[in-house]
Amino acid sequence: MEQSWKQAKAVFAGALGPPLFWLVLFFLVPLAIVWAYSFGQNDGLTDIAITGTWANYARAIEPLYLKIFIKSVWVAAITTGLCLVIGFPVALAITFASEKTKTWLLLLIMLPFWTNLLIRTYALIAVLRTEGYVNMGLEWLWNGMGGLAPLLGLAPIGEFQPLELLHNNFAVILGLIYVHLPFMVLPLYSALDRLDKSLLEASLDLGAGHMRTLFKVVVPLALPGIASGVLITFIPALGAYLTPDLLGGPDSQMIANVIERQFKRANDWPFGAAMSFLLMYLTFIAIALQAVLSRKKPEAK
């Protein structure tokens, strides 16, 4: 027999109590302290005086930092967009795979999580650097072609110039896509998997092409999945810190790198706290947008 929670208040409170206590003690309280810091200023070397000043926020929206915020949003947006473009066909393919293959494909998607992010990023360095695997492979091909050229009566093709793949913005976005792709594929898959396949058959039977079916039926039905995929890719990408630090070049800093330096080298916790909270407000806006999107009843047109 189903019971409303109102009839079992004690059970409800007992179940909710410990996690709520945990959340308050280890999440809300520290967060509130950081929030308070953002209205403070350094007092000597070790203390922070909470003075209620807005100076940290004023400094955080100076053009210098605003530009870095915008750049970070831009990088995160490109990453999310590309993840969507790459992840959607993958999720679709998994949906239509046989039950047995499906399990294996999902396992493959989740496999990278078994390795630490730092190790995976270092692995990417080994792949991308000047004497990395990509350039070594290309050089091998190039020299092979160079060996063939005289045989075919062509001019020698000259020496191999390695591609600049590491320490630039390209490497940062590649690294972010690599890391965040599973975050996109999994919600997309769960949305697409629930989709009623008979709607697709109806659309195809009634004369719509595959592309038309995809964009007029599948995409609108999967919209909540797309929205949550976009959100959980965009938010961590926006706060990315390790990837720009290790793969980026001299101009690849993102806002999280600046925040990290405030807490460490600059020893300016109040300013770092203010920037963290601005980042969090951006995240809240993104979540609110997603909520608005998913409230709209998805319907096939």
Partner 1 sequence: MGTLTQRGLNRRSLLAATGAAAVGLTFTACGQKPAAPTGAEEAKLNFYNWDTYIGDTTLADFKTATGVDVNMSLFATNDELFAKLKAGNPGFDVIVPSNEFVTRMGQAGLLEVLDHSKIPNLKNVDQAFMNPEYDPGRKYSMPYTWLVLGIGYRKSKVKGVPDSWKYLFDSNQYAGKIALLSESADLIRLSAKYKGHSVNNIPPEMVAEIEAMLIKQKPFIKAFHDDNGQDMLASGEVDLVLEYNGDIAQLMKEDADVDFVIPKEGSLINSDTLCIPKGAPRPDNAHKFINYLLDAQAGAAISKTILYPTPNAAAKALMPEDYKNNPVIFPPPEVMAKCEYGAFEGAEKASQYEEVMTRVRAA
At residue 52, what is the residue type? G
Q: How far is CA 102 from CA 9, 123, 192, 196, in A?
A: 42, 27, 13, 17
Cβ 46 to partner 1, closest distance in Å?
5
Residue whose token pair is 């999440």: 27
Question: Exposure string (b/e) for 80-106, b if CB count within 10 Å is 16 or more?
Answer: bebbbeebbebbbebbeeeeeebeebb
Return the structure tokens found at 199: 């709607």
Closer to partner 1 by CB, 179 or 246: give it: 246
Cβ 261 to partner 1, closest distance in Å?
6
Closer to partner 1 by CB, 112 or 147: give it: 112
Distance CA 184, CA 234 (A): 9
Residues 30, 62, 265, 270: what is their CA dihedral angle, to the nearest 10 degrees?
Answer: -30
Check if the beta carbon of residue 194 is closer than 8 Å to that of residue 224: no
Closer to partner 1 by CB, 171 or 184: give it: 171
Closer to partner 1 by CB, 128 or 200: give it: 128
Distance CA 208, CA 61 (A): 50
Q: Angle of helix 63-96 relative to helix 223-238, nearest 10 degrees?
A: 140
Cβ 122 to partner 1, closest distance in Å?
8
Cβ 72 to partner 1, closest distance in Å?
11
Closer to partner 1 by CB, 142 or 263: give it: 263
Distance CA 269, CA 37 (A): 7
| CA angle, 243 then 81 then 215, to 5° | 155
Q: Which residues contact 109 (CB under 8 A, 6 or more apart)?
A: 90, 94, 181, 182, 185, 186
Closer to partner 1 by CB, 79 or 243: give it: 243
SS3 3: coil
Closer to partner 1 by CB, 19 or 63: give it: 63
Positions in the binding site for partner 1 (CB under 8 A) = 42, 44-46, 64-65, 67-68, 71, 118, 129-131, 164, 166-167, 241-242, 245-246, 248-251, 253, 258, 260-268, 271
